[in-house]
Chains A and B, each alone.
Chain A
Amino acid sequence: MNSRAIEVLVGLFMLLFLGAMFVLAMKVSNLTSFTSTSGYTLVAKFENVGGLKPRAPVAASGVKVGEVSDITYDPETFEASVTLTIDNRFSDAFPLDTTASIYTAGLLGEQYIGLDPGAEEDMLQDSDEISLTQSAIVLERLIGQVLFSRSGGS
């Protein structure tokens, strides 16, 4: 085979590799959706985060507006401190009295944070804290409560 044909084939090989990387970046992984750098952060303190994990979605009215970037334990308040990164497109979109709750998608699905906007005029800004939170529903605790109320009733 002459060297021109070889060079053309190697060029095609390179293009195919670039195409594969493009597919892996754009279709397989989430490089297109915003990353944790391009947004502003909010902090929410929860009594119990249940099975919430970093990179879990943050949704408002079911629309994804950001993701959980960090979960730590706050020894001052004995609560879990969850850092949310909200996409810049949704800046000045959440009033100060917004409620953050941890929901579960489906019965066994992954957990996510739902934001329910309140009625205040002023909006949450970068690194503000969401004061109204509702913890995750822990199934064991729920069952315990049901059992307790049953035995108490009879």
Chain B
Amino acid sequence: MTDFLQRFGRSWLSMVERLGRATLFLLHILGALFSLVKRPSLLVRQLHSTGVMTLSIVLVSGLFVGMVLALQAYNTLIDFGQENRVGTLVALTLVRELGPVVTGLLFAGRAGSALTAEIGLMKATEQLSGLEMMAVDPYKRVFAPRFLAAFLALPMLAAMFSAVGVMGGHLVGVEVLGVDAAAYWSQMQNATSFTSDVCNGLIKGLVFGFVVAWIAIFEGADCIPTSEGVSSATTRTVVYSSLAILGLDFLLTAVMF
């Protein structure tokens, strides 16, 4: 019994300790962000590897999610004679929920895991210590640009996801199923507000970007520097990011809408 309690207590304490380390790490990164003003090229390079490289999967998924939404919405709404509202349903679902959430999940899988693996390998091959040896601060050179790039790229990708999804909904709803094009757009515009729907979606994207960037970079920097350690850190990044996105999404939705 005491053994069990001891194990429980130890795991709890180590979790709290890890959380504390992650918070200190985050504060250190935030402090190093200002140095990016002097070296914007580092940020551009990271925006390429996190944002541009994730673009294709996000656009394709957005298109298909929008098309499926239109198909499902049409089949349900036609029973009530309200098939003109397909546009409303597609737009609100994408802008409020699916845009930020699905993009966040894809981003965690595509860019978050890559960030963790990259930083983990840098640690395992002692490149990070090498940088410190040369008096280069890894927080300024390695962590801060990656953090900022991931933080900015996610909401941008989410906006593109929603926009492409609405186009996909138009493709299926209007071109294939024959909903009136004017009704599709006007019903959508009547129901969607820029400030309370589109902007709230963007805020969700920013929050998810912050969390994914934090988790991915911390897991990389905190991993056990072996090949096994890197692989388990990569797995943890994807799992924790996905859980954090889904949990935070519920909280944000409860507060916003």
Interface centre among B156, B188, B194, B198 (most CB of A within 10 A): B194
A-chain residues with CB within 8 Å of residue B91 when the two chains form the complex: 28
Task: Contacts A24-B163, A30-B190 given; indicate if A10 touches B44 (C-beta within 8 A).
Answer: yes
A30 and B192 within 8 A (CB)? yes
Interface bits B183-196 vs A (CB < 8 Å: 1, else 0): 00100111011100
A27 to chain B, nearest CB (A): 6
Q: What secondary structure prevails in chain B residues at the interface with A?
A: helix
B159 touches A24 (CB 8 A): yes
Report the interface size class on chain A. Answer: 20 to 34
Does any Cβ of A come within 8 Å of B45's Cβ?
A: yes
Which stretch in B48-56, B212-220, B225-233 binds the other chain?
B48-56
Beta-carbon contact of A16 and B160 below 8 Å = yes
Cβ-defined contact, B47 with A3, below 8 A: no
A13 touches B51 (CB 8 A): yes
Asked if B237 is at the interface (CB within 8 A of a chain A CB), the reply is no
**Contact between B48 and A19 (Cβ–Cβ < 8 Å)?**
no
Instruction: State the A residues within 8 Å of B (CB).
Output: 3, 6-7, 9-10, 12-14, 16-17, 19-21, 23-25, 27-31, 33, 55, 57, 108
Identify 26 residue pairs between A and B in the complex whose beta-carbon atoms are under 8 Å apart, listed by A's number: A9-B48, A9-B52, A10-B44, A10-B47, A10-B48, A10-B52, A13-B47, A13-B55, A13-B156, A14-B156, A17-B156, A17-B159, A20-B160, A20-B162, A20-B164, A21-B159, A21-B163, A23-B167, A24-B162, A25-B198, A28-B95, A28-B166, A29-B194, A30-B189, A30-B190, A30-B194
